[in-house]
Amino acid sequence: MNRVLRSALLATLLAGVLVAGPVRADVLGDLARATVAVTAVTDRGNYVGTGVVVHKSGYVLTSTTVVPPDAKEVRVRFLSGPEVRGELVATDARMELAVVKVPRMPAGTRAVAIRRSAGVHVGEPAFSYGDAFTTFGDSGTFTASLGIVSGTYELTRQISPPGNMPVYVGRVLETTATLAPGMDGGPLLDGSGRLIGLLSLNVSEARWLGVAVPSDTLLGPLEKAIETHSRAAGKPVRLTVVDTAGPPAFPQQARRAEAFAKAADAIAGSVVAIEAVRHPTKPVETAPATHRGRRGRPELPRTDPDELTGPYAGILQRPDAPATGLIVSADGEILTSHFNVAGNIKSLHVVLPDGRRLPARRLGWDAFRDLAMLKVDAKDLPAATLAEEPTPVGAAVAALGRSPDPASLTMTTGIVSAADRFDGTAIQIDARTNYGNTGGPLIDEKGRCVGVVAHVSTDGMWSQNSGVGFAIPTRSIRQVLDRLRAGEVIAKPQRGYLGVRTGSAGLDAGGVRVEAVMPDTGAQRAGLRAGDVITHVDAEPVGEPADLTRLILRRAPGEEVSLTIRRGQSVEKIQATLGVHPYQ
């Protein structure tokens, strides 16, 4: 029996006993039998991706990023049965629409129902389905990801990866469900498994989350293509289109999504967009090696990318899109992430949900907590109340934003991943955070504001939404709220910094191996080199990288430390003067 079908069967058997609630896995089972892997042959090479059967007579909806208009040959693989040749019925590259007709389909193949996207709202459950990273070709299984509709807005530019086909520009549905390469052309489905959009490769620079071309955009051309083609073939068919969702495939997910959709409504009036225009900054020399590790790993969130230049400065630039803030007093105090208003500001505006665009000024800020207070001249604004209780690890939370479209609220949901990051000033969340929603509120299911999203990753566009995000909880906000209101600039705590990147080598190494020495740091001036093994800091032994981190962070900048190192066969002592930790 096929793997996915077996899984679906198992799921049905297990449905009654699951801790997390019953799962109507037949929706995924049906979907597995409606989804196809598509390969198109062109003069430029082969294209691969996903498609979905929209009519039982053999019409498959896919994307022009999978089947370009000039495709010479289209091959379609179903969950079972041999590969079949498809006929390219129609394409409309402006909306990434491609329609393929296959002459025959394996027994049991399903067609998905299409739901008009007009009634789709932000916060409702959604899932994606398709051949992510060619898992179908490799392992005979498609990939499903559960999420929500996290935004709906207009895309005005093509952010298409180099060498790729043109992608759709216009109104999109955004989702937190996975959209990985290979899933393009596949379906975005509502919580009941009805198709609400076509997964696209375009993206908002403010968000870097997956988007779909809404079904309402596709329906006209799709229906016309199928009706014309089927009439010409002498077997006219019509698509089935519905207006609403059916029973949810994952009831618990649906309940939570609905609760958060309501909760978001309650606070939406307090969530504002922030538009900052900066003076062009004079390049400042920095160490490019520090903002991308040799392995390209993301570094700690940093608060002031304007200070960065060098080869990666381009990707660290903010997108040309608003950020988010939160009204905290009726007379116009707005809390946001310091990142959003840092740098040499030329002009600063706040766009209220009712469309008013007001000039704003900065009051105080705290670069370490990544918070800033803004002020606009207004009265009777709907101020959000900061929750009294802390949110525990595991609690469900949602991050709200007003970007790229200030008129439209975005919402990403997740849980609290860890308490007390960054000296206890922040919590870690797995709700997707990005340029657009940074500075916006983190809410719980009751709609209470439990924090402000901060410390956005500035390591590059695709490292947005890594699932490691941060928020400043209300307890930490309250510690500085009055000072921010009073216009105070709160100094960063000064912590010692050696300037090495270390690798773990186990106890065999007898210390911590230096992988790289950062330029212009105490470590470099002291003559440390890659390959040295640090065995002691002063008299204290160093067994693992965390030991070194702890021992160095205990010291203040300017202090001198004595490092015992092994270099080749010799053991040496080196004196190093600590600098200021750049990340805090």
Partner 1 sequence: MNTMLRTKALILVLSLASAVAAAAPPPAPPATQPAARVARALVSEVLDRAAGAFMFIGGGSGVAIDPDGYVITNAHVVQGSKRWRMRSGAGKAYTADVVGRATMTDLALLKIRGEDLPPHLPLGDSDALHPGEPVVAVGNPFGLGNVDGVPAVSLGSVSALGVDRPRAWDCVVTDAAINPGNSGGPLMTTDGRVVGINGQVATRFGVRANTGIGFAISSNQIRRYLPALREAAGAEVAPGALAGATLDYDRAGEARVDKVADGSAAQKAGLRPGDVVRRIGQWDVRDSGHLTALVGRFPAGADVELAVSRDGQTRRLRMTLGAPVPGAVGVVFHRGNQSLRIDRVVPGGPADHAGIQPGDVIRGISGFRIRRRSEFQAILSNAHAGETVHLTLAREGKDIPVAVRLAPAAEIQKLLDAADKEG
**Contacts to partner 1 from residues 153-172, by CB under 8 A:** 161, 163-165
Binding-site member from 154, 389, 482, 559 for partner 1 (CB under 8 A): 389
Binding string, residues 108-127; x marks residues near partner 1 by CB under 8 A: --------------------
- Closest contact distance (angstroms) between CB of 325 and partner 1 is 25
- Closest contact distance (angstroms) between CB of 131 and partner 1 is 9
**Helix, strand, coil percent content, the chain, rounded in steps of 5:** 20, 35, 45
**Burial letters for 373-412: b for 16+ Cβ neighbours within 10 Å, e otherwise?**
bbbbebeebebbebbeebbeeeebbbbbbbbbbbebbbbb
Does the CA dihedral 173-123-274-584 come out positive or negative? Answer: negative
Looking at the Cβ atoms of 37 and 54, the one nearer to partner 1 is: 37
Looking at the Cβ atoms of 15 and 241, the one nearer to partner 1 is: 15
Looking at the Cβ atoms of 438 and 584, the one nearer to partner 1 is: 584
Q: Is 5 helix (H, G, I), strand (E, B) or coil?
A: helix
Q: Is 347 helix (H, G, I), strand (E, B) or coil?
A: strand
Binding-site member from 22, 56, 85, 134 for partner 1 (CB under 8 A): 134
Residue found by looking up tokens 């750049």 in the block: 582
Q: Is 318 helix (H, G, I), strand (E, B) or coil?
A: coil
- Residue 96: closest CA among 142, 32, 131, 51: 51
Kindly identify the residues of this chain, within the stretch 56-95, that bind partner 1 according to CB under 8 A. 65-66, 82-83
DSSP run (H or E) holding 346: strand 345-351
Looking at the Cβ atoms of 304 and 430, the one nearer to partner 1 is: 430
If binding is defined by CB under 8 A, does position 244 make contact with partner 1? Answer: no
Binding-site member from 94, 287, 312, 583 for partner 1 (CB under 8 A): 583
- Residue 350: closest CA among 358, 361, 342, 338: 358
- Closest contact distance (angstroms) between CB of 23 and partner 1 is 6
Looking at the Cβ atoms of 157 and 550, the one nearer to partner 1 is: 550
- Closest contact distance (angstroms) between CB of 448 and partner 1 is 9
The whole-angstrom separation of Cα 537 and Cα 523 is 13
Looking at the Cβ atoms of 127 and 153, the one nearer to partner 1 is: 127
Distances from the Cα of 158 to the Cα of 170, 256, 338, angstroms? 10, 33, 29
If binding is defined by CB under 8 A, does position 7 make contact with partner 1? Answer: yes
- Closest contact distance (angstroms) between CB of 291 and partner 1 is 13
Binding-site member from 284, 330, 393, 571 for partner 1 (CB under 8 A): 393
The whole-angstrom separation of Cα 224 and Cα 95 is 14
Kindly identify the residues of this chain, within the stretch 212-231, that bind partner 1 according to CB under 8 A. none
Kindly identify the residues of this chain, within the stretch 402-461, that bind partner 1 according to CB under 8 A. 414-415, 417-424, 428, 430, 444-446, 457, 459-461
Kindly identify the residues of this chain, within the stretch 254-273, that bind partner 1 according to CB under 8 A. 255-256, 259
Contact, 523 vs 499, CB < 8 A? yes
6 Rama sector, left if φ>0, alpha if ψ -120 to 50, beta otherwise = alpha
If binding is defined by CB under 8 A, does position 289 make contact with partner 1? Answer: no
Binding-site member from 59, 78, 168, 250 for partner 1 (CB under 8 A): 250
Looking at the Cβ atoms of 335 and 443, the one nearer to partner 1 is: 443
Binding-site member from 108, 133, 224, 571 for partner 1 (CB under 8 A): 133
Binding-site member from 466, 494, 535, 577 for partner 1 (CB under 8 A): 466
Kindly identify the residues of this chain, within the stretch 334-363, that bind partner 1 according to CB under 8 A. none
- Closest contact distance (angstroms) between CB of 277 and partner 1 is 28
The whole-angstrom separation of Cα 288 and Cα 528 is 19
- DSSP assignment of 459-490 equals S-GGGTT-S-EEEEEHHHHHTTHHHHHTT-EE
- Closest contact distance (angstroms) between CB of 168 and partner 1 is 15
User: Is beta strand 469-473 parallel, antiparallel or unpaired with respect to 345-351?
Assistant: unpaired
Binding string, residues 499-528; x marks residues near partner 1 by CB under 8 A: --xxxxxxxxx-------------------
